């Protein structure tokens, strides 16, 4: 079969590899659509991921498609079923799983290889994190389940409630997804963005106010706080950029008693400086959210299949499998212009 293989830093190759076979408990899925992702871009830039994959390795992890082969013992799925298979599944046996933190599972099983004609789904993911896709839901929409599940968990962990005011710093794919999910939950959203094209994107996905960094704004913190009730700061601030500066902004933008969620993860060893007086006497909660759980995957999937989430607007490009290396090279130097959030990759060819 044809597949995209990561060999190292900025080294993606389209190759012919052996097609997978389904062992006991597994399924093989013919990929209907796979999506580009910020995590994949990060891995492409660095050339590896410490926990998820080490090159050379099949690449990509957001996908949906059709069951092509069913391994022995699988009863929940048949050949021809439309499915979305998540990129991981917990063991449900370790310390963290038993304490309701499946995202931190000590034996979290990851799966990659979405940019390919076929992908093997391990038995544990088949059992715990593979879902039937209704006929009316396009594969590229169903494939949004994985990133949305991470965002849903972030919102839940932040305690977001209808009527809250939330600042989202960053208008990349995850930042925009936070804005839209929060808006659908009845949260008032203020976006902090950088580029001109991100202003329209933030408004499209639910931000009622937008602060653009460096454009008629001398003090981004003051400008953002001024948009909150009585200028006291936001109930929740989501940091989705992953720089020390934006981590520090987040703490200054939240109100007393509020919650900051450091969702963007800077490189290992990154240090930030925070005002301990403000944290202590402001009774501010600092959190960080990583990954998803089977429960948030199902919540996200329900949001997608309900038709409430703007899936079509979120998919801003289409490509064939052989274009993937070029797409990731272009993503490295993306400067703005036309709205560019996610590209749907169709191994069987772009639909006409």
Tens digit of each residue's pLDDT (9 = 90 or more) over 85-119: 999 999 999 999 999 999 999 999 999 999 999 99
- Tens of pLDDT, residue by residue over 303-350, are 999 999 999 999 999 999 999 999 999 998 876 556 789 999 999 999
- Could you tell me if 64 and 142 are in contact, meaning their C-beta atoms sit under 8 angstroms apart? yes
> Residue 172 has what pLDDT?
93
Domain 2-144+309-346, CATH class in plain words: alpha beta
> Residue 337 has what pLDDT?
57
Domain 151-287, CATH class in plain words: alpha beta
CA distances from 267 to 194, 272, 318 (A): 21, 12, 30
Average pLDDT, the chain: 95
Diameter of the chain by CA atoms? Answer: 63
Phi-psi region of 283 (alpha: psi -120 to 50; beta: other; left: phi over 0): left
pLDDT classification of 139: cutoffs 50, 70, 90: very high
Q: Which of 146-150, 212-216, 263-267, 336-340 has the lowest mean pLDDT?
A: 336-340
Rounded to 5 degrees, φ, ψ at 322 are: -70, -10
pLDDT classification of 212: cutoffs 50, 70, 90: very high
- Averaged pLDDT for residues 189-206: 95
- Tens of pLDDT, residue by residue over 40-92, are 998 998 887 767 788 999 999 999 999 999 999 999 999 999 999 999 999 99
**CATH 3.40.50.720 residue ranges in the chain?**
151-287
> Residue 335 has what pLDDT?
60
**CATH 3.90.180.10 residue ranges in the chain?**
2-144+309-346
SS3 string, the chain, reads CEEEEEEECCEEEEEECCCCCCCCCCEEEEEEEEECCHHHHHHHHHCCECCCECCCEECCCCEEEEEEEECCCCCCCCCCCEEEECCEECCCCCHHHHCCCHHHCCCCEECCCCCECEEEECHHHHHHCEEECCCCCCHHHHCCHHHHHHHHHHHHHHCCCCCCEEEEECCCHHHHHHHHHHHHCCCEEEEEECCHHHHHHHHHCCCCEEEECCCCCCCHHHHHHCCCHHHCCEEEEEECCCCHHHHHHHHHHEEEEEEEEECCCCCCCCCCCCCHHHHHHCCCEEECCCCCCHHHHHHHHHHHHCCCCCHHHHEEEEEEHHHHHHHHHHHHCCCCCCCCCEEEEECCCCCC
Burial class of 35 by CB neighbour count within 10 A (0 to 12, 13 to 18, 19+): buried
Q: What is the pTM of this model?
A: 0.96
Tell me which residue of 62, 41, 54, 40 sits closest to 8, measured CA to CA.
54
- Averaged pLDDT for residues 161-189: 97
């Amino acid at each position: 079969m044809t597949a995209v293989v990561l060999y190292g830093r900025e080294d993606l190759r389209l190759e012919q590899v052996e097609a997978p076979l389904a062992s006991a408990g597994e399924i093989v899925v013919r990929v209907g659509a796979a999506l580009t992702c910020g995590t994949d871009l990060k891995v492409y830039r660095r050339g590896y991921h410490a926990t998820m994959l080490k090159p050379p390795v099949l690449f990509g992890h957001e996908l949906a498609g059709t069951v092509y082969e069913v391994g022995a013992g699988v009863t929940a799925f048949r050949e021809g079923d439309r499915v979305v298979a998540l990129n991981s599944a917990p063991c449900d046996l370790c310390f963290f799983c038993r304490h309701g933190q499946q995202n931190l599972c000590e034996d979290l099983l990851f799966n990659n290889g979405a940019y390919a004609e076929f992908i093997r789904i391990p038995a544990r993911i088949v059992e715990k994190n593979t879902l039937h896709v209704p006929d009316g839901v396009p594969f590229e929409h169903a494939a949004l389940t994985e990133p949305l599940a991470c965002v849903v968990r972030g919102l839940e962990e932040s305690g977001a409630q209808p009527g809250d005011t939330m600042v989202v710093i960053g208008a990349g794919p995850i930042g925009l997804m936070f804005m839209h999910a929060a808006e659908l939950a009845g949260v008032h959203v203020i976006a902090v963005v950088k580029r001109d094209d991100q202003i329209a994107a933030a408004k499209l996905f639910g931000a009622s106010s937008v602060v653009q960094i460096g454009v008629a704004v001398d003090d981004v913190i003051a400008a953002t706080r001024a948009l909150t009730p009585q200028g006291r700061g936001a109930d929740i601030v989501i940091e989705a950029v992953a720089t020390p500066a934006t981590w520090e902004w987040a703490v200054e933008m939240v109100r007393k008693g509020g919650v900051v969620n450091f969702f963007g993860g800077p490189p290992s060893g990154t240090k930030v400086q925070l005002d301990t007086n403000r944290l202590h006497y402001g009774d501010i909660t600092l959190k960080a959210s990583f990954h998803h759980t089977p429960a948030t995957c199902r919540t996200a999937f329900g949001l997608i299949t309900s038709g409430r989430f703007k899936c079509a607007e979120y998919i801003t490009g289409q490509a064939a499998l052989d274009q993937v290396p070029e797409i990731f090279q272009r993503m490295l130097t993306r400067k703005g212009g036309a709205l560019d959030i996610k590209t749907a990759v169709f191994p069987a060819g772009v639909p006409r």
